[in-house]
Amino acid sequence: MENKTSKYFKYAIGEIVLVVIGILIALQINNWNDYQKNQKYQKEIILLIDQNLKSDSIAISKSLNKSKIAINYTNRLLKEVTSKNYADSLNFWMGKIIRFERFKSQSSAFEVLKSKGIDIIEDNELLLALISYYDQILFNVYQSLNDVEQSFQDDWMPVLRKEMIDYKWDKFCKPINSKEFLEKSSTITLFKLYNDNREGGVFNLESALSKISEIRQLNKKYIND
């Protein structure tokens, strides 16, 4: 009777061990499946973010180029005015100066990532770069571009209505009297202040392009796998 009970006990223990092993194997397989799903999702979301960043890079580069053109024309205009030169070419320069740039980031992929949980990104360097770009650098870009646009609305619009006989966006700006307009100290001050705002914007736009380049470089090891 004792031997029989001992055999039943050993059999029961064996069954329990087999069940536990089965559960552990099932958990391991489940964890492996979850890991594979996370890896696939991480690769897909990084690819989408990279596409968004490519679009941002193109748009930012266009705004940066227009800003630099405006700064260059402003510096040239100020030199010409100092030399008492009021040629018609200044009207075309002012058309490139008295304007503003707008930019809207393509951030849909990053917003999806945040909603799902940013910890899906395993690479801490990449994660920190993404947070830096979307949460800080873009804020600076928007702020600097908004400063230029606000100055256009508050400072230049009254001037355009009062002092200009003709104006075409990004083409030309023709004062009623060029010499009188450009000799005003208030006009020169306005050009200089507008230029200062733009130079701040250039710095932030260049910072954004630099960060995009950094992130896209980090993205390559996931996209090219």
Over residues 151-210, the pLDDT tens digits come to 999 999 999 999 999 999 999 999 999 999 999 999 999 999 999 999 999 999 999 999
Please give the pLDDT value at position 7: 60
Count how many domains the chain has: 1
Cβ atoms within 10 Å of 96's Cβ, excluding its own? 19
What is the span of the domain harbouring residue 44?
2-223
Does the structure show a pLDDT above 90 at 119? Answer: no
CB 167 within 8 A of CB 91: no
CA distances from 134 to 56, 90, 169, 203 (A): 11, 39, 31, 17
